[in-house]
Amino acid sequence: MRIIIIFAYTLSQATVFIFLNMKKTFFFSYLLIFTFMLALSGCVTPPTDKQSPRVSYHPVAFDDIPGWSQDTLNEAWAAWLMSCRAFKKNLVWQEVCAAAENIDASSVVAVRAFFENRFDAYQILIVSGTDATGEGLITGYYEPLLRGSRVPDALYRFPLYANPADLLTVELASLYPELADKRVRGRLEGNKIIPYYSRAEIDRGQRTPDAKILLYLDDALDAFFLHIQGSGRVRLPNNEIVRIGYADQNGHPYRAIGAILIERGELTRDDVSMQAIKNWGRQHPEQLPALLDENPSYIFFREIPSPTDPLAIQIDGPIGSFGVPLLAQRAIAVDRNKIPLGAPVFVVSTFPDQTPLQHLTMAQDTGGAIRGALRADFFCGAGDEAGEIAGKMKQRGQLWLLWPKGKESPQPK
């Protein structure tokens, strides 16, 4: 087993090095060879006494879901309708979405009957051998309201960049379907594709001369956490509110600075939160730039136009990865390889003050740190109050997937 792991690791490292330094004319040939080698390595089954953990969807009755009967499900109805709009011609969802058009959304009874009659419920489990667990991690995120300007000055010094013209994205799935959701980002230097600039390089001015800056913020930590949240609102000096959202990412891996502060003994695992990290940064301004550089991932933004759709105006949330606005406390970010985007998911957990969290939500977003079937990021809403909740959320929780009745349940990747 150890030999297989070493081989796979060495192969992956060699691939990254060769890919980033090869001439473009050899890229497709090498990718074909790599895919073939990877397939061969997958044919080797090392001896083991225990099966690898796998994701399982276990069918349950709605009455067996904790808190299901207490939740006011119609509060999630607008989010569900937005999922239906995004599904459009998806055959799995056509019938159930068509049936939703005739439901009285103001009636708790009607909405509950709709979900119970039109869906089957599955608890999401991780199974290893004869053991199974349904407990995972629930964190929170929010849409901040920040202060900024379209022009820099002594106060507004921290830029938010638009998607750069020299950022290349190679979608590997277009060549090989088995590499779905896999992509490589970089930039051209001569005839070589090399890694795109890291956070430290961008912040130190190593970028294309014509890089477009959307806005300037007044706080380095606010700018950094906006990269983590992925979207936000910015109040300009004339009180105009500009909404910005995720456009792309530089291709570097995300590294949590909270974990770094724990490793250094600056914070404890129990105390780490967005608020604690911000407090540390303001107490150690001279050390802050180096800490932020530890996370090489960098997000590029786009300006989001004001919605004109009445339902989107009603929801008034940021746009998630599923392409629809997120309803406060009724949307989550998930690992799209484990939970289908757009699907209803019932979340059972607690808020940071330990009050119960038992809500029907829609899986309408994703995130770089959201990996695994029992992992969800709960959208708390917008503003400082939502930020206080989101920054402290690090709860254990369980998830139930709702799937259209009569349709074959999805198989996690």
In this prediction, residues 31-55 reach a mean pLDDT of: 51
pLDDT at residue 21 above 60?
Answer: no
pLDDT digits (tens, 9 = 90+) for 381-392: 999 999 999 999
pLDDT digits (tens, 9 = 90+) for 254-281: 999 999 999 999 999 988 999 999 999 9
Cβ–Cβ under 8 Å, residues 344 and 115:
yes
- Cα separation, 276 vs 145, in Å, equals 19
Cβ–Cβ under 8 Å, residues 196 and 185:
yes
pLDDT digits (tens, 9 = 90+) for 114-157: 999 999 999 999 998 889 999 999 999 999 999 999 999 999 99
Number of Cβ atoms within 10 Å of the Cβ of 293: 15
pLDDT at residue 14 above 70?
Answer: no
Cβ–Cβ under 8 Å, residues 163 and 138:
no
pLDDT digits (tens, 9 = 90+) for 93-121: 999 999 999 999 999 999 999 999 999 99
Cβ–Cβ under 8 Å, residues 71 and 360:
yes
- By DSSP bridging, strand 331-333 and strand 356-365 are parallel
In this prediction, residues 304-327 reach a mean pLDDT of: 93
